[in-house]
Structure 1
Amino acid sequence: MKIAVLDDYPKVFRTLDCYPRLAEHDVTVFHDVEKDVARLAQRLQAFEAILLTQGRSPLPGALIEQLPNLKLVVQTGDHVEHIDVDACTRRGIAIAAGRGGLPPATVELTWGLILASMRYIPREVDNLKRGIWQTTLGNGLNGKTLGVYGPGRIGMRVAQIGAAFGMKVVCLGREGTAARIVAAGFEAAPDRRTFFENADVLSLHVPLDGTTRGIVTAADLARMKPDALLVNTARAALIEPGALVAALQRGHPGFAAVDVYEDEPVLHGAHPLLDMPNVLCTPHLGYVEKAAYESYFSIAIDGVLGFAAGRPVNLLNPQALSKTTSERRQP
C-alpha cells in the first residue's frame, strides 16, 4: 500500500523498532505541518492509507471528499474526534483505531512539570547559566493538597505519586466515582467549589469529548488560591476558551504548567501563555516518549498490515468495508 505518515514532528518514526514491519509498503513520512485543506488534499491525493499521530492533523469531510484513492485511515490511540467518521464510512474508507500508549509517559511529564514549577527549576537553571546564584524560594509538596480532576488510568497514577510525596489527595470525577476514589485510598471532593478552592496543585486528566469541552470554567479558576498551580497535560479545550490566560493575569490561580494548546503545533512563540512569567510551557510532550511511541505505532501498524492482508483489525467502522468500488468513488 502507498502510505502517508503525517506530522512526525521530531523525525523519529523511521527510527522506531516497529517501523521495519512496513518494509513491503511504500511509506512517505511528513515532518512539516499543513493545515490548509486544499494543500493537504493535494499532498495526499495518491495515498491509499493515512497514518495519523494522535490528533495532530484533523481529517474533516471537506478533506476526505478530495481523496479518491484513500481506503484506510489508521489512528494512533483511540480518540477520533478530529476525524469525520461519517464521511469516511460513506466513502467506504475504513478507520482502524487501537488504544496503545502507556499511561506512565503522561504521568511522568505531569510530575516533571509540577516539580519544575514548584521549585522554579527552569528559572534557576537559566539564572545559573547567566552567572546568578539562587533567586527563588521554592515550594515543597509535603502536606499540600493535590486535586486530581479525572481519576482515570492516568489520574489515579498521578494521585498515587502525590500521596507518596506526602500530599493530601482529593479527586473530582464523574458521577458515581466517589466509591472508587475512596477505595483507592483518596478523598472524593464533596463538591466542585470546594475542590477548586482547596487545591494547592490541581491537575487535569479528564478525557475530551462533547460533554467535557470547556468543563473548567472561568468561575472555577477564579476560586483557586493565589499561590495554587494548575497543571494541564490532558487537552487545552477542557478549559473555557480564554479563561486560563485571564485567570492567571488576575492571579487566581497564581501559576500554571501547560503541555497542551488549542491549536497545535504552536510555532514562532505565538501563544499568550509563552509570554507569562508564571507559566511553564512544554510542546505537548505527554506521550512523546520511546516506549509510548512504540506501543502506539505498533498497534497502528497492526491496523495497516491487517487491512492490507484482508484481515482488518481494530476497525471503528466495519460497515465501510461493505461499500462497493463505485460507491467509494461517489463524492
Structure 2
Amino acid sequence: MKVHILDDWSDTLRHLPCFARLGGHEVTVWTDHVEGAALAERLQEAEAVCLFRERTRVSAELLEALPRVRLISGRGAWPHVDVAACAARGVAFASRKSDDAPNHAAAELTWALILAGLRDLPGQMAAAKAGRWQQGVGRSLRGRTIGIYGHGRIGQLIAGYARAFGAQVIWWGSPAGRARAQAAGGEVPASRADFFARAEILTLHLRLTPDTRGCITAEDLAQLPPGAVLVNTARAGLIAPGALLAALNAGRPAVAALDVFDTEPLTDPDDPLLSHPRVIATPHIGFVTEDEFDLQFAEIFDQVNAFAAGRPINLVTPSGA
C-alpha cells in the first residue's frame, strides 16, 4: 500500500524500531503541517494515512478530496476524526484507546512541571545564565498536598510519584472516578470546594469530552490556596474559556505550568497566556519521547498491516464501537 504519515515534525519515526513494520509498503513521511487544498494535494496517491495524534483533522471535506484513501490509522481518542464521514465514503478508520497502557511520558513531564513550578526552574536558569545568582526562593514538595483531578492511568502514576516524594494526595473528578479513588484507598474531600481549597498543587488528568469541556471553572480556581501551582498536561479545553488567564492575573494560581493550549501549534510569542510572567510553558511534549512514539506507532503500523492483509483490527464505527 501507499502509506502516508502526517505531521512527524521532528522527523523521528523513520529512525525508530517500529518503522520497520512498514517494510512491505511504499511509505511517505511528511515532516511539516499543511491543511486544506495543500493537504489534499499531497495525499492524492495515498491509500492509507497514519495520523500523528490530533495534529491533523480528518473532515468530510478532506475525505471527499482523497479518492484513493482506504484506511485512516491512528491511536487514542478521535475527536479530530469525522468517523461518520469515513463510514459514508467507505474509508476504514482504526484506532485503539489503549486503556491498559498508561502514558509514562506524560506522567513524567507532569512531575517535571510540578517541580519546575515549585522551584521556579526556568527563572533560576535564566538568572544564572545572565550572571544573577540565586534569584528568589523556591518551595519544597515534601509535605504538600497534590490535588489530582481525574482518577485515570496518568493520575495514578502521579499519585505514586507523590508518595515517593512524601507529598499527600487528594482526588476529585466524576462520581465514578471519585468512587474508584476511594475504593483504592485514596482520600476524596467532602466537597468540590474543599478539594480546590486544599490543592497546593493542582494537576489535571482526564480526557476532553463534551462532559469535561470547561469543567474547571473560574470559581474553582479562585478557591485555590495562596501560592498554588496548576499543572495541565491533558487538554486546555478542560478549563473554562478565559478562566485561567483571569485567575493568574488575580494571583490564584500563583503559577501555571502548561503543556497544552487552546491553539496548537501556538507560535505567537505575544499570546497573553504563553507570555504571562507566571506561566511555565512547554509545546505539547507530554507524549513526545522516542519510547512513547515507538509504542504508539507500532500499534498504528500494525493496523495498516492488518488492513492490508484483509484482517483489519481496532476498527471504529460511527457509534464508537
* TM-score, normalised with respect to structure 1: 0.91
Q: Which residue of 1 aligns with 2:116?
A: 116
- Contact 1:45 / 1:68 at 8 angstroms: preserved in 2? yes
Residue 308 (structure 1) aligned with residue 308 (structure 2): yes
Q: Deviations over 1:218-248 (max 9, x none)?
A: 2211222231011000011111112111111
Residue 247 (structure 1) aligned with residue 222 (structure 2): no
- Contact 2:13 / 2:294 at 8 angstroms: preserved in 1? no
Q: Which residue of 1 aligns with 2:70?
A: 71
Instruction: Sort the Cα spacing of 1:270 and 1:45 in 2 relative to 1 into closer, same or farther, 3 A.
Output: farther
Q: Which residue of 1 aligns with 2:257?
A: 257
Three-state SS of the structure 1 residue aligned to 2:17 is coil
What amino acid is the match of 1:61? A
Residue 156 (structure 1) aligned with residue 156 (structure 2): yes
Q: Which residue of 1 aligns with 2:125?
A: 125
Q: Which residue of 1 aligns with 2:46?
A: 47
What amino acid is the match of 2:79? E
- Contact 2:102 / 2:153 at 8 angstroms: preserved in 1? no
Q: Which deviates the most, 115-124 or 100-109?
A: 100-109
Counterparts of 1:68-217 in structure 2, within 5 Å, are: 68-75=67-74, 77-100=75-98, 102-217=102-217
What CA distance in whole angstroms lies between the structure 2 residues aligned with 1:318 and 1:236? 26
What CA distance in whole angstroms lies between the structure 2 residues aligned with 1:160 and 1:311? 39
Deviation of 1:274 after TM superposition, in Å, equals: 2.1
- Contact 1:306 / 1:312 at 8 angstroms: preserved in 2? yes
Deviation of 1:271 after TM superposition, in Å, equals: 2.9
Three-state SS of the structure 1 residue aligned to 2:153 is coil
Instruction: Sort the Cα spacing of 1:270 and 1:313 in 2 relative to 1 into closer, same or farther, 3 A.
Output: farther
What amino acid is the match of 1:42? E
Aligned length: 317
Deviation of 1:90 after TM superposition, in Å, equals: 0.6
CA RMSD of superposed structures (Å): 1.7
Deviation of 1:273 after TM superposition, in Å, equals: 2.0
Three-state SS of the structure 2 residue aligned to 1:188 is coil
Q: Which deviates the most, 9-18 or 101-110?
A: 101-110
What amino acid is the match of 1:289? T
Instruction: Sort the Cα spacing of 1:13 and 1:263 in 2 relative to 1 into closer, same or farther, 3 A.
Output: same
Deviation of 1:255 after TM superposition, in Å, equals: 0.9
What amino acid is the match of 1:95? F
Instruction: Sort the Cα spacing of 1:264 and 1:250 in 2 relative to 1 into closer, same or farther, 3 A.
Output: same
What amino acid is the match of 1:74? S
What amino acid is the match of 1:261? F
What amino acid is the match of 1:182? Q
Q: Which residue of 1 aligns with 2:229?
A: 229
- Contact 1:218 / 1:240 at 8 angstroms: preserved in 2? yes
Deviation of 1:305 after TM superposition, in Å, equals: 0.5
Q: Which deviates the most, 156-165 or 78-87?
A: 156-165
- Contact 1:145 / 1:200 at 8 angstroms: preserved in 2? yes
- Contact 1:142 / 1:165 at 8 angstroms: preserved in 2? yes
- Contact 1:94 / 1:318 at 8 angstroms: preserved in 2? no
Three-state SS of the structure 2 residue aligned to 1:18 is helix
Three-state SS of the structure 2 residue aligned to 1:4 is strand
What CA distance in whole angstroms lies between the structure 2 residues aligned with 1:178 and 1:99? 22
What CA distance in whole angstroms lies between the structure 2 residues aligned with 1:105 and 1:198? 27
Unaligned runs of 5+ in 1: 320-331
What amino acid is the match of 1:147? G
* TM-score, normalised with respect to structure 2: 0.94
Residue 282 (structure 1) aligned with residue 296 (structure 2): no
Q: Which deviates the most, 109-118 or 93-102?
A: 93-102
Deviation of 1:318 after TM superposition, in Å, equals: 9.7
- Contact 1:102 / 1:291 at 8 angstroms: preserved in 2? no
What amino acid is the match of 1:230? L
- Contact 1:49 / 1:73 at 8 angstroms: preserved in 2? yes
What amino acid is the match of 1:85? V
- Contact 1:102 / 1:292 at 8 angstroms: preserved in 2? no
What CA distance in whole angstroms lies between the structure 1 residues aligned with 2:48 and 2:122? 42
What CA distance in whole angstroms lies between the structure 2 residues aligned with 1:116 and 1:175? 31
Three-state SS of the structure 2 residue aligned to 1:176 is helix
- Contact 1:99 / 1:296 at 8 angstroms: preserved in 2? no
Deviation of 1:161 after TM superposition, in Å, equals: 1.3
